[in-house]
Amino acid sequence: MSHVDIRHRQPSGWRSATAWIFVAPFLVIFFVFTAIPALIALIYSFTDIGVADIRHPLQVHFTFLDTFARVLTNAGFLKSLVTTGIFVVVGVPLTMAIGLALALALNSGIKRLRATYRAAFYLPVITNIVAAAVIWQYAFTLRGPVNTFLAELGLQGPNWLGNPNMAITTVILLTTWRNVGTCMVLFLAGLQGIPADVHEAAAIDGASAPRRFLHITLPLLKPATLLVTVLMTVSYMNIFDEPYLLTKGGPLGATRSVALWVYEQFGHGNIASAMAGSYVMLVIVAVLGILQLRMLRAAS
Amino acid sequence: MMSEGTSRGTVALYATLTLVAGLMLLPFAWVFFGAFKSQAEILAAPGAWLPRSFTDFSNFVELFARRQFGTYLGNSLVVSGLTVVSNVFFSSLAGYALAKIPFRGSRFVFGCIIAAMMIPYIALFVPSFFIIVQMGLLNTLTGIFLPIAVMPIGVFIMRQFALSVPNELLEAARLDGAGEFRIFFSIFLPLVGPAIATVAIITFLNSWNYFLWPLIVAQNQDTFTLPVGLAVASQGAKSTEYGLLLSGAIIVLLPVLILFVFLQRYFVRGIAATGLK
């Protein structure tokens, strides 16, 4: 109704133009640093571009699927895919389970100290990763505070960062520590959306706490769960900072994720391999993301 | 809801929460105790908890006097300052237009925001590096700042908040003949203070903690930001230098910790906004 009045005062063409001016800065940055790079990466994945070509990007040879074939048969790349898979398969459920448990505990009716606990669980999320990695390197060295504490308990502490399996464990511990707070906040928001009377009715009907959790809380929490799954999967798939800073991908390449492999190829000047590798990753993330979002939409 | 009694369950709950919170906060204890340790102390007892003295600031003095942490701190402040101002202004403009001006193409722009939020920057840093080289911005603070000048998350949050601004106020101004720029500055902006605070916090956090991009764009110590400077220092460091590195970590952590203590609800609101709608 009022819409018609406005048209009399200001031509809608002028208002559209204003709207485009308002969104222009976002669009410019989006095209220059997201859309065009995505296109460049796709095009150059089909070439033999190397570091010498960066300043003359038009003088490269099209080699079509050679680069993809080379990347997809590269033992280092395949190993990094498996390593990333381990991070996702172990890290995502672990982080989500702890996040959900903390959210349930905070939502169970306690009043005292609730904000303090929430702040403590959330603090690692905003911690700078370089600072966190420095702390963890110090804490988990052979004779650092962690092993000193274990020794006081009479336990022999492992070589956390020097042994391949322990290094993966330490990287996952650091990543979990930094992501639990995000899961907790999102689960807590989901839990607060569940009406209390549903629980009370079930309790009056004699349903036990575990039964109420399984049959009421979990189903009603499905949208939040799927959302957290998408967020955590994407963030573990792209894991770079933690293994780069904590272990440099070592020992023996045990913690080298795909993102770290791409970074190393870039560092060695194998630009085409780096771009093809990141594209493989982008496609995997996109497919997983779309699948999970479909489920999210179906659930909500 | 369960009532809060002193039942055994409640006690167990508090004990567990306290234990987990203590574990989560342990790394902060390590960094604050470790930063005041000298090389000799670290060498003698690397696993000891408490330093001999909490008033020995020699590690911090060394970082600023001999390790260029002053330059890194300045660079980080410039990059984060520019990022916050630019994001608050441009994402308010875009969020207002998307929520409050009906125009053809707004769905396309919204699609771009969602796409930009979904695509991990790890997949795009190599081609983005090409673009920065072509623009002649390699090894400049502008080159570090430009890709995050208008983050999709900022526009997204502003749009969500803008949707809740009552249309009647804006329509009344339009009937009086006010242009969109005037409505934006004199009516819209004063109404969305909390949204601006949320966007400022989120974009400050992102830029302050930004690591991979400055690592490849900054080519020498004059353009290093704090995280890059700390990472490079830690890679060449001997294990006896942990006191120094932990002091560096405190310099990186402190601004965010202080902001968190005072503005916690905006941090949490930002996360809730990114996740849920």
Question: How remote is the C-alpha of A186 from its chain's centroid?
Answer: 14
| Cβ distance of A128 and B268 shorter than 8 Å | no
* Residue B22 in domain: no
CA-based end-to-end distance of chain B: 27
User: Looking at per-residue confidence, does B26 or A45 come out higher?
Assistant: B26
* Residue B88 in domain: yes
Find the mean pLDDT for residues A26-41. 93
CA-based end-to-end distance of chain A: 32
Find the mean pLDDT for residues A207-226. 84
Residues near A54 by beta carbon (within 8 Å), at least 6 away in sequence: A271, B130, B133
The pLDDT of residue A217 = 86
Is B36:B214 a contact under the CB 8 Å cutoff? no
Q: How far is B244 from chain A (nearest CA, A)?
A: 10
The pLDDT of residue B274 = 57
* A10, A25, A263: residue with CB nearest B150: A25
Q: Can you tell me the distance from the alpha carbon of B263 to that of A126, in angstroms, rounded to the nearest whole number? A: 12
Whether B183 has its CB under 8 Å from any CB of chain A: the answer is no
Is A280:A71 a contact under the CB 8 Å cutoff? yes
The pLDDT of residue A11 = 58
Q: Can you tell me the distance from the alpha carbon of B72 to that of B229, in angstroms, rounded to the nearest whole number? A: 7
Q: A47 by DSSP, 3-state: which?
A: strand
Whether B253 has its CB under 8 Å from any CB of chain A: the answer is yes
CB neighbours of residue A134 within 10 Å: 29
Within 193-222 of B, beta carbons closer than 8 Å to A belong to: 205, 208-209, 211-212, 216
- The whole-chain average pLDDT of chain A stands at 86
Q: Can you tell me the distance from the alpha carbon of B67 to that of B248, in angstroms, rounded to the nearest whole number? A: 10
* B106, B155, B268: residue with CB nearest A26: B155
Interhelix angle A164-192/A129-139, rounded to 10 degrees, is 130
* Residue B81 in domain: yes
Domains of chain B: total: 1
Q: How far is B249 from chain A (nearest CA, A)?
A: 4
DSSP B135: T
| Cβ distance of A145 and B20 shorter than 8 Å | no
| Cβ distance of B179 and A18 shorter than 8 Å | yes
* Residue B259 in domain: no
For residue A126, the chain B residues in CB contact (below 8 A) are: 205, 209, 256, 260, 267
**Mutation choice for B interface testing from A122, A134, A155, A234 by most B CBs within 10 A:** A134
Q: B16 by DSSP, 3-state: which?
A: helix
CATH fit for domain A75-299, picks 1.10.1740.10, 3.40.50.720, 1.10.3720.10, 3.40.366.10: 1.10.3720.10
DSSP A34: I
Q: How far is A136 from chain B (nearest CA, A)?
A: 7
The pLDDT of residue A299 = 66
Query: Backbone phi, then psi, for A287, in 5-degree steps?
Result: -65, -50
* Residue B46 in domain: no
Q: Which amino acid is at A229?
A: T
> What is the CATH number for B159?
1.10.3720.10
Backbone Cα Rg of chain A = 25
* Residue B23 in domain: no
For residue B25, the chain A residues in CB contact (below 8 A) are: 120, 123
| Cβ distance of A263 and B212 shorter than 8 Å | yes
Find the mean pLDDT for residues A92-115. 91
Q: Can you tell me the distance from the alpha carbon of B203 to that of B80, in angstroms, rounded to the nearest whole number? A: 8
Could you give the C-alpha distances from A253 to A79, A260, A277, B117, B212, in angstroms and in order?
A: 8, 10, 17, 30, 20
Q: Which amino acid is at A82?
A: V
What tokens appear for B54 in the block? 């909490």
* Residue B248 in domain: no
Q: What is the largest CA-CA distance in chain B?
A: 77
Is B76:B211 a contact under the CB 8 Å cutoff? no
Provide the domain limits for residue B177: 69-236
For residue B129, the chain A residues in CB contact (below 8 A) are: 266
Comparing A132-141, A164-173, A196-205, which segment has the lowest mean pLDDT?
A196-205
Residues near A287 by beta carbon (within 8 Å), at least 6 away in sequence: none
Within 115-144 of B, beta carbons closer than 8 Å to A belong to: 115-116, 118-120, 122-131, 133-134
| Cβ distance of B101 and A5 shorter than 8 Å | no
Low-confidence ranges of chain B (pLDDT < 70): 1-6, 46-47, 270-277
Is B266:A166 a contact under the CB 8 Å cutoff? no
By CB atoms closer than 10 A (0-12, 13-18, 19+), residue B262 is exposed
pLDDT tens-place string over residues A78-100: 999 999 999 999 999 999 999 99
* Residue B256: closest CA among B264, B265, B248, B268: B264
The pLDDT of residue B152 = 92
Q: Can you tell me the distance from the alpha carbon of B225 to that of B227, in angstroms, rounded to the nearest whole number? A: 6
* Residue A160: closest CA among A175, A171, A149, A148: A171
| Cβ distance of A285 and B124 shorter than 8 Å | no
Here the ipTM equals 0.88
Find the mean pLDDT for residues A216-229. 86
Q: Can you tell me the distance from the alpha carbon of A92 to that of A86, in angstroms, rounded to the nearest whole number? A: 10
The pLDDT of residue A96 = 96
Burial track A181-199 (b if 16+ CB lie within 10 A, e otherwise): bbbbbbbbbbbeebeeeeb
What tokens appear for A189 in the block? 């928001």
Domain spans in chain A, listed from the N-terminal domain onward: 75-299
| Cβ distance of B276 and A186 shorter than 8 Å | yes
Find the mean pLDDT for residues A73-77. 91
| Cβ distance of B27 and A108 shorter than 8 Å | no
Would you call the peptide bond into A251 cis, given omega within 30 degrees of 0 as the criterion? yes
Q: Where in A90-143 does DSSP place strands (E)?
A: none
Q: B125 by DSSP, 3-state: which?
A: helix
Q: How far is A41 from chain B (nearest CA, A)?
A: 6
Minimal-distance CA residue of chain A relative to B277: A227
